[in-house]
């Protein structure tokens, strides 16, 4: 006697053995099918990084799951939106308020100077703006809000375009990849910026290798691996706690053998005031030159715009050690300190390469001096 597969005791067949065997086989097949269907419906185990595609320290980025065409047509946030807080709450807003009366008196000019001196553009840059203002405008023009505004805007443009005109990036030799060393204090968005830049190149069908040289933080290497999987880039990772220089050397050698087009080296980002970190970065840079002659070809410093004047000090310290060729300024949309861009360009003379105006991949935008000034001084 056979019983129903649901466990009830109702007899479903009485007869010879062959018929019973056929029914038994059919019942087993049906049971297996049910189990398979149920298992397919279960979610992936949350303990496996490969199944999750993200770590707790790096939010998932659904835009990377779209097709290449979808990603390429996503324009991302614009500079004007990214500078909204600076225009409404920062030094530009304070200047606009001073000029709202229709005329500029000597007393107001003193207040303009005070606004600039207490803003995040820095004392040196504020002095330069005021000096040029007094040199270029006549007494009559100084009484015109439009003339004063135009002068400030023009000098800001001069500062930025002068820095942007500098060509500090080296070209790689034939047959070797372009190697970019990326610096930045922890929390500035360094690893995320690397992932976004790698995504650009991978969408152009370039072969990209990411080298996890921050061997003191396992989370940093894990984040880089997540980005590598997302954008289809190779990732070279040494053992946790290994000497960063040896990891970089081996990583660059492997990238050359794999015929990579571009390599990003993610370095440690402990406080820039720590002497041992600065010495470590010097060593990493020397080793890069030994692994691939002429490298690094580019040194990007990632700065958090929300830190204001402290960002300039960070860049100055790192620049003394590694000769920074370009700045990536992140989190511009979350601060009223957008004027820091002018201060960085004026005090350090380093080009601003990219600015981050949001969380999406396309929100890391190429920096354009004219576009930035127009957006910053929009009235």
The pLDDT > 90 percentage for the chain reads: 41
**pTM for the whole thing?**
0.77
Q: Quick one: pLDDT at residue 18?
A: 53
With bands split at pLDDT 50, 70 and 90, how would you rate the model's confidence at 25?
low
Residue 158 has pLDDT above 70, yes or no: yes
Q: State the DSSP code for 191.
A: H
With bands split at pLDDT 50, 70 and 90, how would you rate the model's confidence at 77?
low
CA angle 221/335/129 to nearest 5° reads: 115
Q: Quick one: pLDDT at residue 28?
A: 63
* Rg (alpha carbons) of the chain, rounded to whole number: 29
d(CA 303, CA 312): 9
Region 211-230: mean pLDDT is 90
Q: Quick one: pLDDT at residue 375?
A: 87
- 3-class secondary structure for 39-96? HHCCCCCCCCHHHHCCECCECCCHHHHCCHHHHHCCCCCCHHHHCHHHHHHCHHHHHH
Q: Which of 40-49, 109-118, 226-235, 312-321 has the lowest mean pLDDT?
A: 40-49
With bands split at pLDDT 50, 70 and 90, how would you rate the model's confidence at 67?
very low
Region 75-81: mean pLDDT is 71
Are 268 and 244 contacting, i.e. CB atoms less than 8 angstroms apart? yes
pLDDT in tens, 228-287: 999 999 999 988 778 999 999 999 999 999 999 999 999 987 665 666 888 889 999 999
Structural domain boundaries in the chain: 2-40
With bands split at pLDDT 50, 70 and 90, how would you rate the model's confidence at 57?
very low
Residue 131 has pLDDT above 50, yes or no: yes
Output 53 or 239, whichever has higher pLDDT. Answer: 239
Q: Report the chain's mean pLDDT, rounded to a whole number.
A: 80
With bands split at pLDDT 50, 70 and 90, how would you rate the model's confidence at 76?
low
With bands split at pLDDT 50, 70 and 90, how would you rate the model's confidence at 26?
low
Region 298-303: mean pLDDT is 96
Residue 96 has pLDDT above 80, yes or no: yes
Maximum average pLDDT range among 13-22, 42-51, 209-218: 209-218
Q: Quick one: pLDDT at residue 201?
A: 96
* Residues contacting 291, CB < 8 A, separation 6+: 248, 249, 252, 253
The strand pair at 262-266 and 298-304 is best described as unpaired
Q: Quick one: pLDDT at residue 272?
A: 59
Tokens of 20: 């019973």
Region 36-51: mean pLDDT is 34
Output 375 or 8, whichever has higher pLDDT. Answer: 375
């Amino acid at each position: 006697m056979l019983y129903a597969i649901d466990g009830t005791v109702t007899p479903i067949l009485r007869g010879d053995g062959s018929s019973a065997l056929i029914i038994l086989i059919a019942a087993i097949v049906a049971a297996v099918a049910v189990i398979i269907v149920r298992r397919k419906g279960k979610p992936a185990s949350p303990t496996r990084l490969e199944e999750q595609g993200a770590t707790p320290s790096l939010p998932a980025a659904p835009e990377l799951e779209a097709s290449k065409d979808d990603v390429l047509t996503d324009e991302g946030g614009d500079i004007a939106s990214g500078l909204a807080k600076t225009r409404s709450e920062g030094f530009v807003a304070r200047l606009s308020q001073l000029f709202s009366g229709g005329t500029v008196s000597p007393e107001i000019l003193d207040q303009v100077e005070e606004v600039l001196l207490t803003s995040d553009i820095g004392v040196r840059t504020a002095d330069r703006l005021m000096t040029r203002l007094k040199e270029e405008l006549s007494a009559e023009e100084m009484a015109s809000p439009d003339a004063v505004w135009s002068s400030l805007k023009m000098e800001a443009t001069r500062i930025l375009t002068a820095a942007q005109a500098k060509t500090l990036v080296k070209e790689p030799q034939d047959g070797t990849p372009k190697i970019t060393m990326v610096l930045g204090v922890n929390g500035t968005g360094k690893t995320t910026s690397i992932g976004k830049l790698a995504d650009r190149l991978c969408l152009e069908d370039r072969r990209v290798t990411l080298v996890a040289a921050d061997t003191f933080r396992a989370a940093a290497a894990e984040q880089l691996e997540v980005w590598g999987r997302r954008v289809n880039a190779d990732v070279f990772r040494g053992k946790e706690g290994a000497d960063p220089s040896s990891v970089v050397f081996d990583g660059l050698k492997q990238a050359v053998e794999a015929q990579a087009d571009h390599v990003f080296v993610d370095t440690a980002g402990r406080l820039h005031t720590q002497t041992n970190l600065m010495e470590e970065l010097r060593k990493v840079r020397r080793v890069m030159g030994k692994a691939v002659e002429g490298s690094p070809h580019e040194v990007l410093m990632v700065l958090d715009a929300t830190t204001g004047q402290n960002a300039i000090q960070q860049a100055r310290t790192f620049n003394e050690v590694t000769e920074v060729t370009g700045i990536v300024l992140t989190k511009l949309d979350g601060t009223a300190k957008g004027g820091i861009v002018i201060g960085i360009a004026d005090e350090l003379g380093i080009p601003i390469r990219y600015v981050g105006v949001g969380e999406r991949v396309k929100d890391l935008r190429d920096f354009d001096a004219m576009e930035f000034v127009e957006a910053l001084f929009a009235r």
